Amino acid sequence: MTDETRVEWRSWGPDAFAEARATDKPVLLSLTATWCEDCHEMDAETYAEPRIAANLNDGFVPIRVDVDRHPRIRERYNMGGFPSTVFLAPDGHPITGATFIGPEGMRQVIDRVREVWEKKGSDAGRTPRALAGDLPPAGEVSPQIEAHLAGQLEVNFDESHGGWGDAAKFPLPRTVEFALKRDQQRALRTLDAIRDGLFDPVEGGFFRYADDAAWTKPNREKTLESNAALLRAFANGYRYTGEEAYRDPAVETAEFLVESLWTGTGFGGSMGPASGTDYYLLGAEGRASAPGPRTDLTVYAGGNALAVDALLVLSGLTDHEQAREFAARTLDRIAEDLVEDGVVTHFHSGGDVGESLLLEDHARVVTAACRARQVLGDGTVAGESYLDFAAAVADAAIDELFVDDSFLDGPASGEALLSSPLRPLDGNAEMANALLDLAALTDDDTYRDVAETTIGAFAGAWDRIGVQVAEYGTAAARLLRDPILIELGDEAWSDLHRAALRVADHEALVVPEADVTDGVARVSSGTTSVEATTPDELMQAVSSVTPDA
């Protein structure tokens, strides 16, 4: 992002921390993002104030980090939102922190940190509990996990406004998808609220969240990740209802991605407000003559893989050719530009290269490649079949990140707290679901075994898992019920294949061009198998093999 400040920012790395140790100064860590309006406001109001900037430059080592480019730093130092403003000892342990701090608040914080530093020095830093090195409480993968999270859908639901929680509202698309199979009315009410409160009717796409419980105060920032995830959630809402109220936002979001974020080699990471948030209050004519939003055109592996998955789901449900085309092109670019020998690199941008072997990136690339096999057929990417490519990416993550029965978020190495292992529940759930897809599509139980071990690694605390991580419940439920697998002899996009992609179960798996007679679909779950030759017979077969909930 453009530096509007007077602060002499350093880049995160060994040089900055060596400087802090050599000069015996604490570190000021500023976590920011291109799309973050509050970050730009803090730059203009706080960091641009001459005396504050002088105090920070003289008494601290200021480091600035883009949270999209450095997710492992984000997860270790996030103070609950962005900007995050964190004061560290030279070893990287936090002394204190907050989110947005105005000028007067910053003056007070600077004085307090100096006082603490003079009294305690490096002993003022502390290790966050999540990074203390303790393993999560393991347990049995039981039906209680799904039941508990299904109960949380009801307990935490906002009956007045839709969605979960009673303060600022995030859309929680993975929670919506968990609910579509278990509490469909609440899921659809939430999609209605998201559409009415967060959807941009002029240019398409969704804003990141609302500042109030009623969804009336959208925070007008658009990120690729949230839009891709919501695109898939709305497409799946259409899957279950056939209603245009869910199809249309999904289609318009796909068009927003192509028209506003496509770079020629993938989708850019985000769009923020332009001149304040007034841009998004204008109609199409007014926006045409107004300064455009700040856009980050960095192609991130994980966000683009999410987009591939979502666009392919939409294409399968609606025959949307542009969605299918851009999904295939994006997967090709991910494979060619960001994956080598199964190892995913977070981004390449000019001369900058992101970290490799991030759990979230690997999980999403595996999911995208598995989806490609289901929707596009038995094709190839970067010279490998979709499933061989997915297996290589999964194997790299298992080899390097699967430690003590769960996945680390990335290599436990680097400056400050980056050397402390972190086992994110949401990332582990996402990888477990990706591995379950891969296991079913390849008939290789090795991946299922790793997924089961991963979910079990957190199962000792099942009753403390909240609705925000409902994807954990999805993985647990899939482990306890045989998947619905639809294998077809037909090539992709036959009538039978298109019908299979549209069954009312977004967790069902579809394999066109399988070892099945042409014109026949074999629908199986566990030891039960039924054949069908028409779309109507296929729907009946799916109903007959669907396991009891």
Count of alpha carbons within 13 angstroms of residue 459, beta-carbon side: 21
311: in domain: yes
Co-location of 313 and 198 in the same domain: yes
Co-location of 72 and 218 in the same domain: no
> What distance in Å separates the CA atoms of residue 529 and residue 484, rounded to the nearest whole number?
10
Co-location of 247 and 374 in the same domain: yes
User: What range defines the domain where residue 210 resides?
Assistant: 143-402
Sign of the Cα pseudo-torsion (229, 233, 236, 238, in order):
negative
**Is residue 493 over pLDDT 60?**
yes
Give the tens place of pLDDT for each residue, 34-76.
999 999 999 999 999 999 999 999 999 999 999 999 999 999 9
**Is residue 133 over pLDDT 80?**
no
Residue 16's nearest CA partner among 4, 7, 28 is 28
Co-location of 113 and 147 in the same domain: no
354: in domain: yes
- 113 in Cβ contact with 119 (< 8 Å): no
467 or 412, greater pLDDT: 467
Q: Where is the domain boundary, 402, 432, 456?
A: 402
444: in domain: no
State the DSSP H helix or E strand holding residue 545, giving kind and residue range, or none if neither.
Answer: helix 535-545
Q: Is 414 left (phi over 0), alpha (psi -120 to 50) or beta?
A: left
> What distance in Å separates the CA atoms of residue 267 and residue 282, rounded to the nearest whole number?
25
Co-location of 163 and 309 in the same domain: yes
Give the tens place of pLDDT for each residue, 521-547.
999 999 999 999 999 999 999 999 987
**Is residue 549 over pLDDT 80?**
no
**Is residue 178 over pLDDT 80?**
yes
Neighbours of 482 (CB within 10 A): 14
Q: What average pLDDT does range 149-177 have in this prediction? A: 97
Pairing of strands 222-223, 270-271: antiparallel
Co-location of 223 and 266 in the same domain: yes
> What distance in Å separates the CA atoms of residue 438 and residue 389, rounded to the nearest whole number?
11
Ordered DSSP codes for 248-300: HHHHHHHHHIIIIIB-SSSB-SEE--SSTTGGGGS-HHHHHTSPPPPEE----
The CA-based diameter of the chain, rounded to the nearest angstrom, is: 78
3: in domain: no
Give the tens place of pLDDT for each residue, 10-32.
999 999 999 999 999 999 999 99
274 or 200, greater pLDDT: 200
412 or 1, greater pLDDT: 412
470: in domain: no
Give the tens place of pLDDT for each residue, 197-242.
999 999 999 999 999 999 999 999 999 999 999 999 999 999 999 9
Q: Where is the domain boundary, 126, 160, 185?
A: 126
425: in domain: no
Co-location of 165 and 309 in the same domain: yes
Q: Where is the domain boundary, 126, 154, 187?
A: 126
Co-location of 213 and 301 in the same domain: yes
Give the tens place of pLDDT for each residue, 350-367.
889 999 999 999 999 999
Residue 512, preceding bond cis, omega within 30 degrees?
A: no
**Is residue 1 over pLDDT 50?**
no
Give the tens place of pLDDT for each residue, 403-435.
999 999 999 899 999 999 999 999 999 999 999
451: in domain: no
Q: What is the pLDDT of residue 334?
A: 99
> What distance in Å separates the CA atoms of residue 263 and residue 270, rounded to the nearest whole number?
12
Q: What is the CATH number of the domain that holds 42?
A: 3.40.30.10
- 89 in Cβ contact with 75 (< 8 Å): no
- Helix-strand-coil split of the chain, %, nearest 5: 50, 15, 35
Give every CB contact of residue 318 below 8 A, 6+ residues apart in sequence: 235, 238, 247, 250, 251
Q: Indicate the number of domains in the chain.
A: 3
Ordered DSSP codes for 68-135: TT-HHHHHHH--SSSSEEEEE-TTS-EEEEES---HHHHHHHHHHHHHHHHHHGGGG----GGGS-PP
SS (H, E, C) 518-540: CCCEEEEECCEEEEECCHHHHHH
> What distance in Å separates the CA atoms of residue 530 and residue 486, rounded to the nearest whole number?
10
Q: What is the pLDDT of residue 467?
A: 97
Reported as a pLDDT band with limits 50, 70 and 90, residue 275 is low
**Is residue 131 over pLDDT 90?**
no
Reported as a pLDDT band with limits 50, 70 and 90, residue 381 is very high
Q: What phi and psi values does residue 32 have, to the nearest 5 degrees?
A: -145, 175
Co-location of 83 and 158 in the same domain: no
Q: What is the CATH number of the domain that holds 360?
A: 1.50.10.20
Task: Say what percent of the chain tops pLDDT 70.
Answer: 98
134: in domain: no
**Is residue 548 over pLDDT 80?**
no
Give the tens place of pLDDT for each residue, 290-323.
888 999 999 999 999 999 999 999 999 999 999 9
Co-location of 196 and 297 in the same domain: yes
Co-location of 207 and 107 in the same domain: no
Co-location of 164 and 24 in the same domain: no
Cα dist. 139→396, 425, 452, 463, 482 in Å? 26, 14, 11, 11, 21
> What distance in Å separates the CA atoms of residue 221 and residue 83, rounded to the nearest whole number?
14
